[in-house]
Chain A
Amino acid sequence: QKEVEQDPGPLSVPEGAIVSLNCTYSNSAFQYFMWYRQYSRKGPELLMYTYSSGNKEDGRFTAQVDKSSKYISLFIRDSQPSDSATYLCAMSAIYGGSQGNLIFGKGTKLSVKP
C-alpha cells in the first residue's frame, strides 16, 4: 500500500461547480498536510497548509483533515477556468525516519469548463 493515495482523475467540471479533491494515507505519524496547485510546465505552488485535524478556509478554498479516517480533502467553491491545474496533496511526519520530508500524492488533474 502506498503511503499516500490520490485519484489521478482527470476531473472535469463546469464553471461555478463545487470541486472536491481527496487523499487517503496510511502513516499515523503524518501531522502536517498541504495542498499544492501545479499549472502545466510550472513548479508546484503551495495552496493550503493545515496542522493535525480540522478545517481551514482561505477564500474559495477549504482544506479538511480527518485523522481518524486518515483522509484529507480540498474543496473549491465557485470553480473558475483559472483553477484548471493538477492538485497535489502532500503530508509530513513529525517523528520517524522520514520526519520533515514531504510525501506526495500523484496529483489530480482538474479541468473547469467555461
Chain B
Amino acid sequence: NAGVTQTPKFQVLKTGQSMTLQCAQDMNHEYMSWYRQDPGMGLRLIHYSVGAGITDQGEVPNGYNVSRSTTEDFPLRLLSAAPSQTSVYFCASRSYVFYEQYFGPGTRLTVT
C-alpha cells in the first residue's frame, strides 16, 4: 500500500515551459487535492476533486489546470511556467466520508 505518490521529486523549468506533476493514490479515496507550500505562506489549496470527472478551484488556481479521469490519478498541469510558481507542491487525498487528508512526499519545482 503505497498511499499517495508524486513524481517527479524535483524539477527545474525555464519560464514559459509547460509540465505535468503526477499524483496517484491507491486508497480508493474520492477526494484529491493539490497544495503549494511557500515560506511564510503555509499550505494553500490550488485545485481539488471530489471524484472522477469533477474538479474545482481552490485558493490559488491561476496558472494551473487539473483533470480527474480516474479515481487513482490527479495530475496538475502548469501551462506556461512563471518564476512565481517556484514552490513545493503536495498532493493529498481523503475518503469522502472522513476528513483526514493524507499527503504525498512533494515535488520541489524551480522556475528560472
User: Taking beta carbons and an 8 Å cutoff, which residues of A are in contact with B?
Assistant: 8, 32, 34, 36, 41-46, 49, 88, 90, 92, 100-102, 104-107
- B residues sitting closer than 8 Å to A (CB atoms) are 4, 31, 33, 40-45, 48, 50, 58, 90, 92, 99-106, 108
CB contact between A106 and one of B40, B58, B90, B100 (< 8 Å): that residue: B40
Which chain B positions have C-beta within 8 A of A44?
43, 90, 103
Question: Could you say which of B90, B101, B105, B106 contacts A46, with CB atoms under 8 Å apart?
Answer: B101
A107 touching B48, Cβ below 8 Å: no
- Bound state CA distance, A34 and B103, in angstroms? 13
The answer to whether B43 touches A100 (Cβ under 8 A) is no
Taken together as a complex, chains A and B put the C-alpha atoms of A80 and B16 apart, in Å, by: 46
Interchain CB contact (< 8 A) of B102 among A8, A46, A90: A46
**CB pair A32 B99 closer than 8 Å:** yes
- Determine whether the beta carbon of A104 is less than 8 Å from that of B43: yes
